[in-house]
């Protein structure tokens, strides 16, 4: 049936731009975030954190802190460890030979990064807790620090965790073909080394938990700014020994997440433990200073890349060697090595080179643990691959579009594998490339660029294609890998007595518009008006078990579950209507919330009547039919590890070649995220993602000194993209529905972040090319790097 | 991230404020616009015993013309300086600098006196005061002192103001008719503290440069006059040769501090680039050909 | 040192309030925790992000960079207050229509700053808008839609 094709029937909401239900209250200042909820007698947590990157904790004196005004509890890491069922170990079976040190929620006898929580204070107010924190005396013995990934594996390097033998977390190699032979045959072999500065999510709403423990019912309720309520439920329950079914996690409005809020953090576990111990609500808000030293970091990488090119521009081989600097521990439960693995998976992913070899080495450092952050690994892999592609274009005298035309996988060539061995299908590199070429008026830009160069104005045009892994399946990393994180997701669609439809989602909404998208899918599938449908998400007491929102999966996975559940409900409604109307359900349809004769719009029985009878007047139905009117469907990918998407970015920048300043003039994206449910929401995901990627490309960098201390842990010093410097972003689409699902939606949330850094680096290098042999190969691209590439300093 | 405990006293008169400064000495901090002080309190980087709030001292607010002098009360908010016709007409350097000072919400609260008294090396207002040869009026219970800007800025957040003194007024000579001024800075993002910055103020006739003062900020521990650069500049026609001489001389003036936003080498390079640009602009503004 | 308390009196969103609070309380903590107006958010608490922007005596300010005690006698408006007066109803509707917000955490501060921009009643290019709004951080939208919404309402209002 044609429920998913736009505009071909009433209630065809799929593909339409509709406003988000949550937006209206947010603009009135009446959003409800966790910090807006403060039950009576709530206490507040603050943490004493290690000022050292690596130190033994010799003695902790908490007496003065305990006596400070308002203080209700002072807890050390050792005391907290006794309340835990055991430490976390951030390994997964899918990562063969991976090593990780057990980690307790707070440091027990050793602090391993600057910012690791050491002592928790619970007091009547946050200010009082911080006052008391200043009275805690900790004797530290400083230990040797490992902060440079390049030397972390050298003989003689200090070893952070003696039990692991060395600082290596994991090593992996993959590929296909005969790379060495191909390099030997290539007309040109190009080699380059790239550096990427560690950065972090900086969600505007920081991490927060509000923990309540009812000692009577033994129920633990945690309101938290989370993307993955069920995962939090599982991890917190198991860590603190509370039965999982006694735990309720509520994620109300979430003020930005970007992957930060798929993780579990020791300070949050500590606050939960305090609530259990005290029997009073405990709130912990990571303030901005502690966010920088405790939120996961990401993307500290060095990548060596090598490609083999023929004179006609054909790439015949590619090799990368990634070195990732993880933090002091492997982040539980997702690990700190997945980012490296994604780099191996997707680098050069758009191209049909037959020979590929990729190696990743992940090392521990005395720094904040790293893990998944929006577009995991992709910004690095795409920057590297697309830089090499542009360089190859230069060497072979081809235009950047031309060399990509020559090397991308053809749109009619799927299914197939990419060099890393990953199976892909339903992609559209060629269509996207041509669409971008037109959208950015490329030839006109080239002419303008040439003209301005005559006047000493150096503008650069960048292009960067990509593939993006979205909506992971349970066969690889999740589930099969050992993590108790659902890669399936579920939706329950219910008909209420009023005729209203409740859509309870395992996936969650952090402002992307997931609730609205699911309402659109359900309304379209059932055949009712949007106003009749209400989505519920983020409350584990009210939703089916699901993985939540991560890895661009909400619409692709949760959307299909919603679609199928809504179709089930539709079938039952029609079945019941058939009984009531004594008609074959095959001859009925649902339009605008009314059961109608197929092909007609005249109401025969409204959903409100079905609801009323189905809930209250069951006597009107035959005895052999007990209406359910509540349908849950689960969905997972079956054969593919991911639903891959593709697209291409264009950027137009101006470089001040005397100062190194970059002005980003215009940005274009052509994206194939499969079936689009709500175009505006998809576009805004892409735009927001781009700017987040541009932040990493241009500004963002967690800078550590040699002692492992974070040097720029404030929003004044950690530079994020603001409105003045960011460009307008023009978005176009190619829609190739995924053949994995009926709905056909792929993920859209991360690819902007994935490709924007690469296109920026290419545009900058394109701008300075007439003046220098130098190229920028490091991010963030500071003016200093540009000046160095220009040989000006 | 909550401020530590402190006492708060709202001064209800200048005398009251000065009395409080006498009484509390180094334990007191003056709370003017608070746009730099409040973050340090929230971060517990600063733990004063007493905050002396001077925001109600309305006598310290306002912009007026006193003959050839523009008098700006220390408590005048940035926004009022930015919107002032007097400043636009008589202190175009400051008018040009003001949009670079942070963002609207900060300018609505922050004060020009606070910025000068704090003496952040990357801030715009100290540099402008020095470039224009302003006089800073500080007052204590024992009376007023006039301090030339050239003697006011001592180093990183250090000034000639004594602990018991309050900066009450800044007196700027109005821009002379045949003078030009140019303000330029480089910041990563609009409103950020600068990484490099130059104020130029002086006379240009045709291409001839006279009495030009070049003040550099953001690269040193305080705004400084590029004495050698100025010596190489004044009395010369502005041309490539002069530019080279001036930027070479600048190396003897500056000893840039590296920080998170750039190395000393880069900052020196940027100050040289800006030197060329401010002078190109100065000549253009004076009606000459750059 | 003991906690110094102070009794503050001010008008918040049109209603007079009197509360005795620790003197160190900044304005937004006061508004959020003492008065329950939770629309003003704390994003950084050091004056960079703009999420706490509120209006004091007619001017938009960083609520985290002002003590509540300093607002003695002041007229304070938050997003809740200017929503109720309808002053920026058109802009709020446009934000929803244009999806100029995602998580919504920056939105109240963004709107408070934009309200000041609109009050200037002057023609503004997209770049002018970007510059004026540059002290408000948004991690979700990429800003483009926010510029669209403000530009469109500013133009509509200028047309009358």
DSSP strand pairing (A43-49 vs A315-325): unpaired
In angstroms, the CA A716 to CA A667 distance is: 26
CB contact (8 A) between residue B109 and residue C113: no
- According to the model, what pLDDT value does residue A587 have? 97
Q: Considering only A21-25, A264-268, A413-417, B54-58, which range has the smallest mean pLDDT?
A: A21-25
Tally of domains in chain B: 3
> According to the model, what pLDDT value does residue B289 have?
56
How many C-beta atoms surround the C-beta of residue C66 within 10 A?
27
Instruction: Please state the separation of Cα A459 from the chain's center in Å.
Output: 32
Residue among B217, B277, B212, B275 nearest B246 (CA): B275
Token pair listed for A734: 């190619």
Q: Kindly tell me if the per-residue pLDDT of A6 is higher than 70.
A: no
For A206-219, give the secondary structure using H, E and C: CCEEEEEEECCCCE
Percent above pLDDT 70 for chain A: 99
Vertex B158: Cα angle to B33 and B56 (nearest 5): 25
Residue A583's Cα: distance from chain center in Å?
Answer: 49
Query: Mean pLDDT throughout A729-751?
Result: 97
- State the Cα torsion A542-A230-A223-A693 to the nearest 10°: -120
**How far does chain A reach from its first CA to its final CA, in angstroms?**
65
Contact C80 A723 (CB under 8 A): no
**pLDDT tens, A181-204?**
999 999 999 999 999 999 999 999
Chain C closest-CA separation from residue B246 CA (Å): 33
The answer to whether the beta carbons of residues A192 and A391 sit under 8 Å apart is yes
Q: What 3-state DSSP class applies to B147? A: strand
Among A127, A134, A792, select the one facing B269 at the smallest CB separation.
A792
Report pLDDT for A9. 77
In a domain, B1, yes or no: no
Do the chains contact at A793 and B186, CB–CB below 8 Å? no
Ordered structural domains, chain C, with CATH: 5-82 (3.10.20.30), 86-159 (1.10.150.120)
Distance CA C147, CA A721 (A): 15
Beta strands in chain B (DSSP E): 7-10, 28-31, 50-53, 63-66, 69-73, 135-140, 143-148, 153-155, 158-159, 166-173, 179-186, 196-205, 208-217, 224-225
What are the tens digits of pLDDT across the range A668-716?
A: 999 999 999 999 999 999 999 999 999 999 999 999 999 999 999 999 9
* pLDDT for residue A545: 96
Among B34, B53, B72, the domain-final residue is B53
Residue B177 has a CB neighbour count (10 Å cut-off) of 6
Does one domain contain both B281 and B183? yes
| Answer CATH for A34-143+205-284 from 3.90.1170.50, 1.10.3720.10, 3.40.50.2300, 3.20.20.210 | 3.90.1170.50
Radius of gyration, CA atoms only, chain C: 16
pLDDT band of B288, cuts 50, 70, 90: low
CA A696 to chain centre: 15
Calculate the alpha carbon distances from A286 to A632, B196, B233, C44, C45 in Å: 36, 34, 53, 10, 11
To 10 degrees, the CA torsion angle through B81, B82, B88, B94? 80
Among 3.40.50.2000, 2.40.110.10, 3.40.720.10, 3.30.365.10, name the CATH number for the domain at A376-468+646-788.
3.30.365.10
Contact C49 A726 (CB under 8 A): no
Please give the pLDDT value at position A582: 96
C-beta separation of A225 from A251 below 8 A = yes
Contact A703 B260 (CB under 8 A): yes
Q: Which residue has the tokens 């805004």?
A: A684
Dihedral pair phi/psi, residue B180, rounded to 5°: -125, 160
The answer for A 700-719 residues in CB contact with B (under 8 A) is: 703, 711-712, 714, 716-717, 719
The Cα–Cα gap between A232 and A682 comes to 27
Q: Which residues of B touch C62 (CB under 8 A)?
A: 35, 105-106, 109
- C chain contacts of residue A752, beta-carbon cutoff 8 Å: 142
CATH code (residue B268): 3.30.390.50
Claim to verify: residue B110 and residue B208 sit in the same structural domain? no
Question: In this predicted model, what pLDDT tens digit does every residue of A233-244 receive, in sequence order?
Answer: 999 999 999 999
CB A572 within 8 A of CB A611: no
Q: Which residue of B has its CA nearest to C50?
A: B105
B46 and B65 both lie in a single domain: no
Q: Do residues A400 and A761 make contact, with C-beta atoms less than 8 angstroms apart?
A: no
Q: Is A287 on the interface with C (CB under 8 A)?
A: yes
* Cα–Cα distance measured from residue A642 to residue A349, given in angstroms and rounded to the nearest whole number: 13
Nearest to A578 by CA among A570, A569, A587, A565: A587
Whether the per-residue pLDDT at C1 is higher than 90: the answer is no
How confident is the prediction for chain A on average, in pLDDT? 96
How many Cα atoms within 13 Å fall on the side-chain side of residue A496?
A: 10
* C22 interfaces chain A, CB cutoff of 8 Å: yes
CA–CA separation, A459 vs A445, rounded Å? 10
Picking from B140, B173, B206, the residue at the C-terminal end of a domain is B173
Residues contacting A416, CB < 8 A, separation 6+:
A409, A423, A424, A425
Q: Which of B173, B197, B225 is the last residue of a domain?
A: B173
Helix (H) or strand (E) run with residue A690 in it: helix A679-698
Alpha-carbon torsion angle A384, A552, A323, A768, nearest 10: 30
C-alpha distance from residue A776 to each of A343, A387, A655, A694 (Å): 20, 9, 12, 15
Share of chain C above pLDDT 70, in %: 100
Candidate from A126, A659, A714 with C-beta closest to B2: A126
The pLDDT of residue A1: 47
The DSSP bridge partners found for residue A597 are A588
Q: What is the 3-state secondary structure (H, E, C) of C50-106?
A: CCCEEEECCEEEEHHHCEHHHHCCCEEECHHHHHHHCCCHHHHHHHHHHCCCCCCCC
Answer yes or no: is pLDDT of A428 > 90.
Answer: yes
Question: Does C110 have pLDDT greater than 70?
Answer: yes
CA distance B44 to chain C (A): 11
Fold of A21-31+488-635: Aldehyde Oxidoreductase; domain 4 (3.30.365)
Give the CA distances from residue B251 to residues A657, B241, B246, in Å, rounded to whole numbers and listed in that order.
Answer: 21, 16, 9
3-class DSSP state of B69? strand
Which residues in chain B have Cβ-Cβ distances shorter than 8 Å to C55? none
Q: Is residue B14 domain-shared with residue B108, that is, in the same domain?
A: no
| Sequence-ordered list of residues with C-beta below 8 angstroms from that of B121, at least 6 positions apart, any chain | B156, B217, B218, B220, B221, B222, B223, B257
| d(C-alpha A723, C-alpha C117), whole Å | 14
Which of C32, C101, C142 minimises the CB distance to A726? C142
Q: Reduced to 3 states, what is the DSSP secondary structure of residue A33?
A: strand
Nearest CB among B1, B191, B266 relative to A793 is that of B266
- The helix (run of H) or strand (run of E) holding residue A111 is strand A110-111
Complete DSSP assignment for A245-280: GGEEEE--B----TTGGGS--HHHHHHHHHHHHHSS
- Is A510's CB within 8 Å of C103's CB? yes
Does the beta carbon of C145 lie under 8 angstroms from any beta carbon of chain A?
yes
- In eight-state DSSP terms, residue B220 is S
Cβ pair A784:B262 closer than 8 A: yes
Of the candidates B1, B190, B269, the beta carbon closest to that of A289 is on B1
Residue A629 pLDDT exceeds 90: yes
Chain C: give the shortest CA distance to residue A394, in Å.
32
Relative to beta strand B50-53, strand C75-77 is unpaired
What the block records as the tokens of A282 is 């405990």
Contact A217, A390 (CB under 8 A): no
Q: What was the pLDDT predicted at A120?
A: 98
**Structure tokens that stand for B200 in this block:** 């130029």
Contact B8 C4 (CB under 8 A): yes
Beta-carbon contacts of residue A61 (< 8 Å; ≥ 6 apart): A136, A137, A138
Dist CA A84 CA A107 (whole Å): 13
CATH code of the domain in which B11 resides: 3.30.43.10
Neighbours of chain C (3+ CB pairs under 8 A): A, B
Would the CB atoms of B104 and C132 count as touching at under 8 Å?
yes
User: Could you list the residue range(s) of the whole structural domain that residue B207 is in?
Assistant: 179-285
DSSP state, A723? G
Chain A contacts in chain B segment 246-265 (CB below 8 A): 260-263, 265
Q: What is the pLDDT of residue A204?
A: 98
Tell me what pLDDT residue A4 has.
66
CA-CA distance, B233 to B235, in Å (whole number)? 6
Q: Give, for C43, the enclosing helix (H) or strand (E).
A: none
Taking residue B142's Cβ as centre, other Cβ atoms within 10 Å add up to 11
How, if at all, do strands C5-12 and C75-77 pair?
A: parallel
The answer to whether the Cβ–Cβ distance between A720 and C137 falls below 8 Å is yes
Closest Cβ–Cβ partner in B4, B39, B189 for A131: B4
| H or E stretch at A460 | strand A458-470
- Break chain A into its structural domains and give their ranges: 21-31+488-635, 34-143+205-284, 376-468+646-788
Q: Is residue B266 part of a domain?
A: yes
- For the stretch B252-270, pLDDT in tens is 999 999 999 899 999 999 9
Nearest CA in chain B to A658: B273
Nearest to C111 by CA among C143, C136, C128: C136
On whether residue B62 sits in a domain, the answer given is yes
In this complex, the residue of C102, C111, C126 whose CB is nearest that of residue A684 is C102
- Whole-number Å distance between alpha carbons of B272 and A659: 10
Q: Is the ipTM of this complex over 0.95?
A: yes
Q: Where are the beta strands (DSSP E) in A567-719?
A: 588-591, 594-597, 603-606, 630-635, 643-655, 662-672
Q: B105, C67: Cβ pair inside 8 Å?
A: no
Which pLDDT does position A479 carry in this prediction? 72
User: Would the pLDDT of A551 be above 90?
Assistant: yes
Tell me whether residues B103 and C134 touch, CB distance under 8 A.
yes
CATH number at residue B99: 3.30.465.10
Report d(CA B252, CA C116) in Å as an integer.
Answer: 46
């Amino acid at each position: 049936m044609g429920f998913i094709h736009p505009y071909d029937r009433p209630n065809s909401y799929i593909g339409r731009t509709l406003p988000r239900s949550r937006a209206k209250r947010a603009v009135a200042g009446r959003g409800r975030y966790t910090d807006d909820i403060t039950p009576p007698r709530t206490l507040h947590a603050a943490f004493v954190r290690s000022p050292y990157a690596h130190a033994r904790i010799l003695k902790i004196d908490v007496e003065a802190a305990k006596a400070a005004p308002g203080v209700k509890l002072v807890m050390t890491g050792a005391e907290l460890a006794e309340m835990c069922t055991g430490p976390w170990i951030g390994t997964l079976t899918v990562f063969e030979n991976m090593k990780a040190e057990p980690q307790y929620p707070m440091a027990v006898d050793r602090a391993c990064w600057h910012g690791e929580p050491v002592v928790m204070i619970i007091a009547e107010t946050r200010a009082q807790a911080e006052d008391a924190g200043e009275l805690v005396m900790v004797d530290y013995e400083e230990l040797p620090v490992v902060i440079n990934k390049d030397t972390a594996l050298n003989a003689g390097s200090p070893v952070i965790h003696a039990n692991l033998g060395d600082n290596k977390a994991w090593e992996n190699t993959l590929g296909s073909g005969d790379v060495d032979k191909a390099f030997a045959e290539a007309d040109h072999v190009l080699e380059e080394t790239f550096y990427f500065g560690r950065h972090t999510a900086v969600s505007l709403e920081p991490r927060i938990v509000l923990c309540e423990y009812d000692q009577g019912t033994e129920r633990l309720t945690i309101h938290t700014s989370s993307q993955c309520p069920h995962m939090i439920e599982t991890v917190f329950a198991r860590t603190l020994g509370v039965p999982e079914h006694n735990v309720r996690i509520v994620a109300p409005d979430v003020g930005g997440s970007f992957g930060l809020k798929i993780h579990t953090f020791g300070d949050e576990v500590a606050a939960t433990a305090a609530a259990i111990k005290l029997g009073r609500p405990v709130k912990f808000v990571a303030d901005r200073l502690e966010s920088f030293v405790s939120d996961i970091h990401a993307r500290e990488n060095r990548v060596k890349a090598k490609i083999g090119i023929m004179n006609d521009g054909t790439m015949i081989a590619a090799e990368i060697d990634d070195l990732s600097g993880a933090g002091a521990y492997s982040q539980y439960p997702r690990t700190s090595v997945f980012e490296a693995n994604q780099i191996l998976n997707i680098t050069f992913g758009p191209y049909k080179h037959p020979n590929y070899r990729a190696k990743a080495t992940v090392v521990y450092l005395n720094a904040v643990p790293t893990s998944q952050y929006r577009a995991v690994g992709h910004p690095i892999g795409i920057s590297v691959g697309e830089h090499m592609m542009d360089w190859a274009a230069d060497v072979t005298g081809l235009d950047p579009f031309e060399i990509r035309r020559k090397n991308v996988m053809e749109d009619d060539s799927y299914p197939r594998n990419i060099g890393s061995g990953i199976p892909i299908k339903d992609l559209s590199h060629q269509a996207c490339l041509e669409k971008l070429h037109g959208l950015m008026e490329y030839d006109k830009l080239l002419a303008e660029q040439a003209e301005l160069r005559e006047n000493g104005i150096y503008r650069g045009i960048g292009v960067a294609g990509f593939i993006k892994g979205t909506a992971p399946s349970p066969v690889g990393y999740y589930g099969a890998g050992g993590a108790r994180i659902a890669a399936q997701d579920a939706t329950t669609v219910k008909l209420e007595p009023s005729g209203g439809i409740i859509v309870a989602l395992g996936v969650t909404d952090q402002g992307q518009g997931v609730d609205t998208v699911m309402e659109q899918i359900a309304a379209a599938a059932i055949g009712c008006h949007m106003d009749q449908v209400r989505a519920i998400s983020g409350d584990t007491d009210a939703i089916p078990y699901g993985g939540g929102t991560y890895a661009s999966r909400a619409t692709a996975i949760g959307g299909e579950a919603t679609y199928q559940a809504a179709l089930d409900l539709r079938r039952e409604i029609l079945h019941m209507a058939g009984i009531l109307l004594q008609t074959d359900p095959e001859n009925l349809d649902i339009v605008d919330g009314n059961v109608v004769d197929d092909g007609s719009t005249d109401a025969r029985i409204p959903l409100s009547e079905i609801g009323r009878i189905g809930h209250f007047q069951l006597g009107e139905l035959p005895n052999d039919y007990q209406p359910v009117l509540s349908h849950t469907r689960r969905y997972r990918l079956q054969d593919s590890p991911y639903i891959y998407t593709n697209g291409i970015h264009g950027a137009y920048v101006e470089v001040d070649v005397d100062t190194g300043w970059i002005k980003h003039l215009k940005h274009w994206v052509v994206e194939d995220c499969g079936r689009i449910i709500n175009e505006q929401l998809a576009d805004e995901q892409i735009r927001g993602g781009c700017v987040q990627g541009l932040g990493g490309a241009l500004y963002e960098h967690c800078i550590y000194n040699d002692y492992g201390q974070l040097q720029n842990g404030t929003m004044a010093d950690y530079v994020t993209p603001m409105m003045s410097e960011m460009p307008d972003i023009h978005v176009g689409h190619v829609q190739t529905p995924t053949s994995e699902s009926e709905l056909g939606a792929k993920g859209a949330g991360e690819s902007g972040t994935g490709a924007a850094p690469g296109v920026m680096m290419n545009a900058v290098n394109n701008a300075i090319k007439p003046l220098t042999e130098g190229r920028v190969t490091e991010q963030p691209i500071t003016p200093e790097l540009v000046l160095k590439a220009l040989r000006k300093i | 991230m909550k401020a530590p405990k402190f006492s708060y006293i709202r001064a209800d008169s200048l005398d009251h404020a000065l009395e409080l400064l006498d009484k509390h000495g180094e334990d007191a901090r003056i709370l003017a616009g608070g746009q730099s002080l409040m973050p340090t309190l929230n971060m517990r980087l600063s733990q004063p015993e007493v905050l002396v709030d001077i925001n109600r001292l309305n006598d310290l607010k306002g912009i007026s013309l006193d003959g050839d002098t523009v008098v700006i009360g220390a408590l005048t908010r940035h926004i009022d300086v930015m919107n002032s016709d007097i400043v636009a007409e008589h202190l175009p350097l400051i008018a040009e600098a003001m949009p670079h000072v942070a963002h609207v919400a900060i300018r609505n609260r922050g004060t020009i006196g606070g910025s000068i008294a704090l003496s952040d090396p990357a801030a715009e207002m100290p540099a402008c005061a020095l470039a224009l040869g302003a006089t800073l009026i500080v007052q204590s219970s024992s009376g007023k002192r006039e301090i030339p800007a050239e003697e006011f800025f001592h180093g990183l957040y250090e000034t000639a103001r004594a602990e018991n003194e309050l900066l009450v007024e800044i007196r700027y000579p109005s821009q002379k008719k045949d003078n030009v001024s140019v303000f330029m800075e480089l910041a990563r993002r609009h409103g950020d503290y600068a990484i490099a910055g130059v104020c130029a103020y002086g006379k240009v006739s045709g291409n001839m440069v006279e009495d030009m003062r070049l003040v550099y900020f953001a690269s040193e521990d305080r705004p400084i006059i590029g004495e050698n650069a100025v010596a190489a500049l004044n009395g010369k026609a502005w041309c490539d040769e002069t530019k080279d001489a001036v930027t070479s001389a600048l190396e003897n003036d500056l000893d840039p501090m590296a920080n998170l936003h750039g190395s000393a080498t880069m900052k020196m390079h940027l100050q040289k680039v800006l030197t060329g640009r401010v002078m190109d602009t100065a000549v253009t503004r004076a009606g000459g050909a750059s | 040192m003991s906690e110094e308390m102070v009794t503050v009196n001010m008008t918040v969103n049109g209603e007079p309030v009197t509360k005795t609070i620790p003197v160190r309380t900044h304005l937004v903590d006061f508004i959020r925790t003492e008065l329950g107006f939770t629309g003003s958010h704390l994003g950084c608490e050091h004056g960079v992000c703009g999420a706490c922007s509120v209006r004091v005596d007619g001017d938009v300010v960083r609520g985290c960079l002002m003590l509540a005690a300093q607002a003695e006698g002041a007229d304070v408006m938050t997003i809740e207050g200017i929503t109720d007066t309808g002053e920026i109803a058109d802009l709020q509707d446009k934000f929803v229509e244009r999806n100029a917000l995602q998580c919504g955490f920056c939105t109240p501060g963004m709107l408070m700053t934009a309200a000041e921009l609109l009050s200037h009643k002057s023609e503004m290019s997209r770049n002018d808008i970007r510059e004026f709004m540059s002290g408000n951080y948004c991690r979700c939208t990429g800003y483009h839609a926010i510029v669209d919404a403000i530009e469109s309402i500013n133009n509509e209002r200028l047309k009358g």
